[in-house]
Amino acid sequence: MAKINIENLAEFDSAAYLTNEVAIAAYLTEIIQANDASLLADALGTIARARGMTEVANDTDIGRTALYKALRAGSAPRFDTINKVCQALGVKLVVQPLFDHGPN
């Protein structure tokens, strides 16, 4: 059996799998459940790269450089930036109750 040198493996890039709104929504749902704003910013950046950062920048009326800065790990983008990016990506954030208390 041949040994695999992990240094020669390509770095995993989730952007390659974010090809439609359903995949994007599922990915963002998992990211949001992690409750980490920095991770959300980075995930939105990954999705924007998958879609084309220039196109997303044009759709949001946010400069491409500013968008890269706002959507990187460790950043804290404003809510309106997150909302504009989600709209440009064809998804929306949805609030759901934590518990189903049934009919009142």
Tell me: the pLDDT tens digits for 38-96?
A: 899 999 999 999 999 999 999 999 999 999 999 998 899 999 999 999 999 999 888 88
Contact indicator for 67, 56 with CB cutoff of 8 Å: yes
Q: How far apart are CA 76 and CA 39, in angstroms?
A: 10
Contact indicator for 70, 41 with CB cutoff of 8 Å: yes
Q: Is 61 left (phi over 0), alpha (psi -120 to 50) or beta?
A: left
- Give the CA count within 13 Å in the CB-facing half-sphere of 48: 33
14 falls in which pLDDT band (50, 70, 90)? confident
| Res 104: pLDDT | 64
- The answer to whether the predicted template modeling score (pTM) of the entire model surpasses 0.85 is no
Give which of 4, 73, 81, 68 is closest to 34, Cα–Cα. 73
